[in-house]
Chain A
């Protein structure tokens, strides 16, 4: 017969159960709290101003309104009001007018200046109105992530395919943790190397950098053609070790390109690649540009995408591939018609997670992107992303001001975007895991 447990034992049992429950619930609570708090701070930024129809009034009407003696009080909503004699006033949230001497219109500027999508939160002038348009920041964030993915996705996914499917097992045991350790590399180190070392190097060797994107694949293809002339048994012997064998090839190619950069530059761009870009393509060149951001952030994102897609490809049940090979398909046909389609949800979720990383990455962009809020997709110009903007401006922002709330809003946007990407990725991965388990 079962004896009743001592009170202490029952108490500990129940306590641990509830503590564990609180731990599990805590995770949901934290996510909800982060979302809720960001929303709570950001929401007043959307509050419609109390008086709105006062765009232009004449000086007498303006004079009739009560003025706020403390004219430097923080203005919650700002509304431009023009007087007849070129003074202008800011209307604050309480309906008070604050008069300022108007600055003279600049050359070619109508009064008021034409609207534009600009982000400019501070300036040296005293009667300056901040400009809060998210457009340059959205474009910048997307641009940085886009170029990073353009570099990271091919390298990570193709590398994962090779590692999971073709590589010698002995080498795979070394390579996989090696690349995963790379995921732990602090982004501040990557950013500093890219900003202080890579950016000047690329600036002075632009031709070589651009050419290596073509020359590396081309030289590998050429070598592969040469290898195909070898007897079959040798070709099959080197295939699993190609991953390591190509490293010297890369080193050699890159060295050659950078060594003969000047000659190549005069051959292709008549001596000055940057001048050629500017005159022929009409593109400006900054030292800290999207190309460098793409390379640095690509290196940061590769391990993430690589690791998840490698798991997905390696997990494809062996009996499927064996069946395909037994039916006479080549390894490549098996791979492209069976393995990759089967593992594609995993690869998809890997790319989603990688994109989420790239969107929110701060330090690399902060150090490499130049941080000018430009709204273009030029590969050779910088940008300012949401994350970098927060890192630059939040420490100096006045608590409770519109600027402060807008920075919280941009954090909220980052949160929501990455939340959506991660949730989709997680759901897809869970489904895939079930499918693997059922086979």
Chain B
């Protein structure tokens, strides 16, 4: 449009001409677009940098710190520097936040140091970092490895000994997991079933049957056996103990069974660091959280989110497609259709927290409570379905995302030319046959687009979910090996809520911070991927209809 007309007054030379030409306002409008772009790009860049940096093995520093005449030796990773505040009240020195780890012997694990007091800064090659099951990271020097009471190696040779034991440790851990799942958990489950049986009989005023009592006794004996096995494996795991020297001369004793990873960042080559990085990413994606979610991975959250989204899609797709078929194929344009359209746009506009409140009141307390009263009377007052859980979260989010599917499907239906419907009807097909065999298959990419967008929306929705079934830590996954395999009443973990919980409910904010960035990056990447695939799908669809069906 801009290249069509000359500015009438000619070239703007004076200030008033310049203002009247409208150019400055165009520039301001351009600024608005540029601001939006910068915000998007800046956000993504910030997430990418902070989220990805977390897995890189940082150098471990060692220095001496002089504070009020007392000299301490410090080992740790530099987390960030902060320039002095301009208040003029504090000493104008740069402040370093150092992760010193060793939370058990020397808390806290994050400390501030003034740059001025730091002296003799080095990166000794023999410093090791240990990631362990409890107490966060440990930093120090290898001292010795003990097998029972016997010292096997000391100093530098410890490293080789640990390497040599890696496979044995792995097989022991696998054995422990095997006994736990096939033995202990299975028996716990069976005992729980018997307990419910007992309660049911008590509810009907019957004494427990003899068979029940015998089975219970047998299971308890077997459970003791398995527990004995488990104890033996753990004893083997904890037989070897690693001794570390911290910088201040304390000694950390660490059973090898607790060891997850050990590395010497200051002498790693670039390729070793890269390998370490990818192992870190893999652990993040496949492991469960530890230490009140501040360490470990997010696997349960990924699993819970996926399962909830899957259930929600199963619920929302038929409903959304049927509603769209009604709006576009069956209904005669009139007042009723207008009301339905307003209802759809309102479903999209109602705040998500309102869905959460409705879901909690209606699904959880009303429907879930009624199910409990009818089918789980023996388990009361402990609720089964009358408490937030996976199924209610799926129902709530199905309501929330219904308009997305409806609108996308309707758009797809609108793109299909009339001539195709008329052709099908003219050949003698009924309306249902036309729709089911011709129109809906043709609109299926549009339906898929809608479902993808719905899934993306549900993956990021945290507010309604915290009311209807998401928890900060779920001890069990909603799918396991016990009948009925999918436990719809269980609470689950969700990536979006995990971010909120990590960032704002955690006791150890500094320790959780890199994990929040990594989790947020993961969530944003998943959602952007879903959305861009939906956009691509839609534009391909558009092109297809433009080229082959346009009449």
- Taking a contact as CB atoms under 8 Å apart, the answer to whether A158 and B350 are in contact is no
Does B520 sit at the interface, judged by CB under 8 A? yes
Q: Which of A13, A22, A181, A247 contacts B322 (CB 8 A)?
A: A22
Q: Which residues of B contact A31 (CB under 8 A)?
A: 343, 346-347
Name the segment of B129-137, B293-301, B327-335 touching the other chain. B327-335
Within 8 A of B (CB), among A392-429: 394-395, 399, 407-408, 411, 414-415, 418-419, 421-423, 425-427
- Taking a contact as CB atoms under 8 Å apart, the answer to whether B31 and A23 are in contact is no
Within 8 A of A (CB), among B490-547: 496-497, 499-500, 503-504, 513, 516, 520, 523-524, 527-528, 530-532, 535
Count contacts between A and B, CB distance < 8 Å.
378
- CB nearest neighbor in A for B24: A224
Q: Which residues of A contact B52 (CB under 8 A)?
A: none
Q: Which residues of A contact B362 (CB under 8 A)?
A: 33, 37
Q: How large is the interface on A (under 10, 10 to 19, 20 to 34, 35 or more residues)?
A: 35 or more
- Taking a contact as CB atoms under 8 Å apart, the answer to whether A162 and B467 are in contact is no
- Known contacts: A330-B21, A411-B358. The answer to whether A186 contacts B503 by CB under 8 A is no
Q: How far is the CB of B44 from chain A (nearest CB, A)?
A: 9
Query: Chain A, 214-245, contact with B by CB distance < 8 Å: what is the 0/1 string?
Result: 00110011011101100110011001101111
Q: Which residues of A contact B402 (CB under 8 A)?
A: 27, 30
- CB nearest neighbor in B for A167: B33
Most buried by B among A27, A184, A415: A27
- Taking a contact as CB atoms under 8 Å apart, the answer to whether A407 and B357 are in contact is yes
Q: How far is the CA of A204 from the CA of B530 in the complex (A)?
A: 37
- Known contacts: A155-B32, A395-B466. The answer to whether A24 contacts B326 by CB under 8 A is yes
Does A272 sit at the interface, judged by CB under 8 A? yes
Does B310 sit at the interface, judged by CB under 8 A? no
- CB nearest neighbor in B for A362: B463
Q: Which of A221, A271, A430 contacts B24 (CB 8 A)?
A: A221
Query: Chain A, 127-143, contact with B by CB distance < 8 Å: what is the 0/1 string?
Result: 00000000000000000
- CB nearest neighbor in A for B360: A394
Q: How far is the CB of A254 from chain B (nearest CB, A)?
A: 8
Does A74 sit at the interface, judged by CB under 8 A? no
Secondary structure type dominating chain A contacts? helix
- Taking a contact as CB atoms under 8 Å apart, the answer to whether B460 and A187 are in contact is yes
Does A202 sit at the interface, judged by CB under 8 A? no
Q: How far is the CB of B408 from chain A (nearest CB, A)?
A: 13
- Taking a contact as CB atoms under 8 Å apart, the answer to whether A193 and B3 are in contact is no
- Taking a contact as CB atoms under 8 Å apart, the answer to whether B31 and A216 are in contact is yes
Q: How far is the CB of B93 from chain A (nearest CB, A)?
A: 15
Does A361 sit at the interface, judged by CB under 8 A? yes
Number of interface residues of B (CB under 8 A): 114
Does B175 sit at the interface, judged by CB under 8 A? no
Does A66 sit at the interface, judged by CB under 8 A? no
Q: Which residues of B contact A360 (CB under 8 A)?
A: 350-354
- Known contacts: A166-B30, A188-B496. The answer to whether A362 contacts B323 by CB under 8 A is no
Does A374 sit at the interface, judged by CB under 8 A? no
Q: How far is the CB of B518 from chain A (nearest CB, A)?
A: 12
- Taking a contact as CB atoms under 8 Å apart, the answer to whether B36 and A155 are in contact is yes
Query: Chain A, 25-53, contact with B by CB distance < 8 Å: what is the 0/1 string?
Result: 11110110110011001000000000000
Q: How far is the CA of A182 from the CA of B6 in the complex (A)?
A: 36
Q: How far is the CB of B542 from chain A (nearest CB, A)?
A: 13
Q: How far is the CA of A40 from the CA of B524 in the complex (A)?
A: 38
- Taking a contact as CB atoms under 8 Å apart, the answer to whether A236 and B3 are in contact is yes
Q: How far is the CA of A250 from the CA of B42 in the complex (A)?
A: 11
- CB nearest neighbor in A for B357: A411
Within 8 A of A (CB), among B337-362: 338-358, 360-362
Q: Which residues of B contact A335 (CB under 8 A)?
A: 22
Query: Chain B, 309-323, contact with A by CB distance < 8 Å: what is the 0/1 string?
Result: 000000000011111
Q: Which residues of A contact B341 (CB under 8 A)?
A: 426, 430
- CB nearest neighbor in B for A407: B357
Q: How far is the CB of B334 from chain A (nearest CB, A)?
A: 12
Q: How far is the CA of A37 from the CA of B361 in the complex (A)?
A: 8
Does B119 sit at the interface, judged by CB under 8 A? no
Query: Chain A, 349-388, contact with B by CB distance < 8 Å: what is the 0/1 string?
Result: 0000100110111110011000000000000000000010
Within 8 A of B (CB), among A301-346: 302-303, 306, 321-322, 325-326, 328-333, 335-336
Report the 10 A-B pairs with minimum CB-CB distance, sorted nearest first.
Answer: A360-B351, A332-B22, A186-B460, A23-B322, A24-B326, A242-B30, A162-B29, A246-B34, A362-B463, A23-B323
Q: Can you pick out 6 interface pairs between chain A and chain B where the beta carbons lie within 8 Å of each other?
A: A41-B361, A166-B2, A185-B43, A265-B86, A330-B5, A414-B353
